Amino acid sequence: MIKVMIVDDSAVVRQVLAEQLGKMSGIQVIATARDPLFALKEMERQWPDVIILDIEMPRMDGVTFLRKIMAERPTPVIICSTLTDKGAEVTMQAMSAGAVDIITKPKMGLKGFLQESNTRLADAIKGAAHARLSRMSGARSAPTPVTSAKLSADEVLARAPRSSIGGTTDKVVAIGTSTGGTQALERVLTRLPRTVTGIVVVQHMPEQFTAAFANRLDSICQVRVKEAENGDRVIPGQVLIANGGKHMLMRISGAQYRVEIKDGPLVSRHRPSVDVLFRSVANAAGANALGIIMTGMGDDGARGLKEMRDAGARTLGQDEPSCVVYGMPKEAMKLGAVERELPLDKIPEAIIGWH
């Protein structure tokens, strides 16, 4: 049973979240609190496995509380943030401080929104509960799978025959990640030079947050990092981050790689989906690609990475000890999609040395 604490200054949010979580098997809400100071008192009695945390609260803001928790007793934290530009910027600070995932809350229609987001909420909590954080002790059991319908990349694009791959010598790196990926991507991308091969990334993240995430990375990296726009070229020295709420595909146009941003159903329960990106890279680039699957809950990207390897691409997986959640790389390993596993800190030099 995963013990959850909800910390939010909105009584409505606390009530609706508690009601929805109470209906989920394997999850127990042990306490709710209207601000971090009340939460700390509750935590003296019983410490939660996962904390769902608002950002803007009286007496102590969520980021300050998060940093305090991570310094004293690291605990998986999911940020519950509003769909606003300001909310996105502050949420990125929280992710950098150690939060493992984000769930969103609209200003209007909260109850209906959360009821429709049951699968996403369950995935976030179960992924967080199995996160490895520094100074956390004790092994955890394997994640409980979510049993909702799961669509494949076939819903967005067909798998192309190898003979259809266009003629170009341009290279591309495709990266897919989820829970724990914001910190992992920062550690990788900040160590890459401006001359590095063009990179395309899917990080599971809600819409309106990917732009803030890309902007933050751009401010601390040598490479240019931006939220992808339809038609953007994949060029050396630039990293394109998939938009939250949209699929990102890579196409070949003449001798150039470009990205396509499009709507579509959830694939492997995600949009953007790593499977969709990886399949498109397999179709367009074949052996000119390097695919990397990193920390994350679930199996999105495993089949797509296998398709990349089958098309001649080189493939890497983040190793278990360095993952926050060894889910996506593990599933890719099971399928034979991963050529070799590397610790997170070895991935930048593998990208630089690949040609």
Domain total in the chain: 2
User: Within this chain, do residues 113 and 171 fall inside the same structural domain, yes or no?
Assistant: no
Q: Is 157 left (phi over 0), alpha (psi -120 to 50) or beta?
A: beta
Mean pLDDT for the chain?
Answer: 87
The DSSP output letter for 291 is E
pLDDT exceeds 50 at position 64: yes
Domain stops at, among 76, 101, 129: 129
Domain stops at, among 69, 104, 129: 129
User: Within this chain, do residues 221 and 175 fall inside the same structural domain, yes or no?
Assistant: yes
Whether 140 is covered by a domain: the verdict is: no
CB 338 within 8 A of CB 293: yes
- β-pair partners for 318: 342
The continuous run of DSSP H or E covering 21 comes out as helix 11-22
Q: What is the pLDDT of residue 321?
A: 94
Whether 161 is covered by a domain: the verdict is: no
Whether 299 is covered by a domain: the verdict is: yes
Give start and end residues of each alpha helix (H) in 50-117.
Answer: 62-72, 85-96, 110-116
Note the Cα 289 to chain centre separation in Å.
21
Whether 159 is covered by a domain: the verdict is: no
The DSSP output letter for 263 is -
Of 178, 268, 280, 322, which one is the catalytic site residue? Answer: 178
- β-pair partners for 173: 199, 290
Q: What is the pLDDT of residue 141?
A: 34
pTM, entire model: 0.84
User: Within this chain, do residues 223 and 272 fall inside the same structural domain, yes or no?
Assistant: yes
pLDDT digits over 317-347, tens only?
Answer: 999 999 999 999 999 999 999 999 999 999 9
- Annotated active-site residue 355? The verdict is no
CA dist., res. 131 & res. 127, Å (int): 6
The continuous run of DSSP H or E covering 186 comes out as helix 181-189
92 vs 141 pLDDT, higher one: 92
Domain, as residue range, for 302: 166-353
Token readout for 350 is: 């593998």
CATH number at residue 66: 3.40.50.2300
Neighbours of 330 (CB within 10 A): 19
Of 130, 204, 247, 270, which one is the catalytic site residue? Answer: 204
CA dist., res. 165 & res. 252, Å (int): 8
Report the sign of the C-alpha dihedral through residues 315, 333, 317, 121, in that order.
Answer: positive
The continuous run of DSSP H or E covering 306 comes out as helix 302-310
Q: Which residue has the tokens 């009821």?
A: 115
- pLDDT level of residue 144 (50, 70, 90 thresholds): very low
Whether 53 is covered by a domain: the verdict is: yes
pLDDT exceeds 60 at position 170: yes
- Annotated active-site residue 178? The verdict is yes
pLDDT exceeds 60 at position 139: no
Whether 142 is covered by a domain: the verdict is: no
User: Within this chain, do residues 209 and 290 fall inside the same structural domain, yes or no?
Assistant: yes
pLDDT digits over 259-311, tens only?
Answer: 999 999 888 888 999 999 999 999 999 999 999 999 998 899 999 999 999 99
pLDDT exceeds 50 at position 50: yes
The amino acid at residue 187 is R
- pLDDT level of residue 140 (50, 70, 90 thresholds): very low
User: Within this chain, do residues 217 and 310 fall inside the same structural domain, yes or no?
Assistant: yes
The continuous run of DSSP H or E covering 18 comes out as helix 11-22
CA dist., res. 250 & res. 260, Å (int): 6
CB 306 within 8 A of CB 333: no
CB 227 within 8 A of CB 239: no
Whether 72 is covered by a domain: the verdict is: yes
User: Within this chain, do residues 85 and 212 fall inside the same structural domain, yes or no?
Assistant: no
Whether 154 is covered by a domain: the verdict is: no
Cβ partners under 8 Å of residue 139, min gap 6: none
The secondary structure of 207-243 as a DSSP string is: TTTHHHHHHHHHHH-SSEEEE--TT-B--TTEEEEPP
pLDDT exceeds 70 at position 65: yes
User: Within this chain, do residues 198 and 347 fall inside the same structural domain, yes or no?
Assistant: yes
Token readout for 55 is: 């950002």
Nearest CA to 33 out of 22, 18, 19 is that of 18
User: Within this chain, do residues 207 and 311 fall inside the same structural domain, yes or no?
Assistant: yes
User: Within this chain, do residues 176 and 324 fall inside the same structural domain, yes or no?
Assistant: yes
The continuous run of DSSP H or E covering 261 comes out as strand 256-262
pLDDT digits over 11-43, tens only?
Answer: 988 998 898 899 888 999 999 999 999 999 999
User: Within this chain, do residues 122 and 188 fall inside the same structural domain, yes or no?
Assistant: no
Domain stops at, among 73, 105, 129: 129
Q: What is the pLDDT of residue 146?
A: 39
User: Within this chain, do residues 92 and 238 fall inside the same structural domain, yes or no?
Assistant: no
CATH number at residue 213: 3.40.50.180
Nearest CA to 173 out of 294, 255, 270, 271 is that of 294
pLDDT exceeds 60 at position 135: no
Q: What is the pLDDT of residue 258?
A: 96
User: Within this chain, do residues 172 and 291 fall inside the same structural domain, yes or no?
Assistant: yes
- Annotated active-site residue 204? The verdict is yes
- pLDDT level of residue 88 (50, 70, 90 thresholds): confident
